[in-house]
Structure 1
Amino acid sequence: MHRLVLASLEDDQAVETVSIPLAGKSSIADYMVVASGRSTRQVASMATKLAEKIKAEFRVSARIEGLATADWVLIDAGDVIVHLFRPEVRSFYNLERMWSFGDAPSGGEPN
């Protein structure tokens, strides 16, 4: 699923995609992926397409929060949690720093 998420975001031209491994650090998921879109329209489109791909490939309905405003959209797909932001909102919350646990977040390489 992690690879599918990264590939989908790359296809949709997400900006500054960061993958943070959570296995052994948190029980909420194996990975957290953070990415930006250039506009609310792009963020909403990326989120919708990603949820559709997850459902088609894994038969899992991902939960989506924040789609109405699309400033910050959270997609909970179980093993992978995805945060999609507009750039200003992303820099304000700075999730990568909060969740990196002292490790440097990895760039989008699947493990």
Structure 2
Amino acid sequence: MKSVLLLLIAIISEVIATCALKESAGFTRLLPTLIVIIGYGIAFYLFTISLEQIPLGIAYAVWSGLGTAGTILVSNLLWNEKLQLVQMAGIVLIIVGSVMVNLFNQPST
């Protein structure tokens, strides 16, 4: 359970860092640039620790699915970047796929 929590915190950190990229203006603004560096540092560190208990494929599926959805949600809220219906459907499929990968994960013997 601890590994899942660390993975979720890693994903949140990655979403924050990714969104700060937009605000960094090509790394010309100090505060957003620092947020990018620190956010990705935390994200990759926690992701690495979570891999001690979570298989890489599963962890990466969750990371990419929730990270993509989170980044899209934040960009919509902060910068009013609207999505078309087909794009929303794609995001839902990413999330459903991540959930399916986790629900039907068979432990290796």
TM-score band w.r.t. shorter chain: 0.3 to 0.5
Report the structure, 1 or 2, having the larger strand content.
1
The structure richer in helix per residue is: 2
TM-score by length of 2: 0.34
Higher Rg: 2
Q: TM-score, normalised by structure 1?
A: 0.33
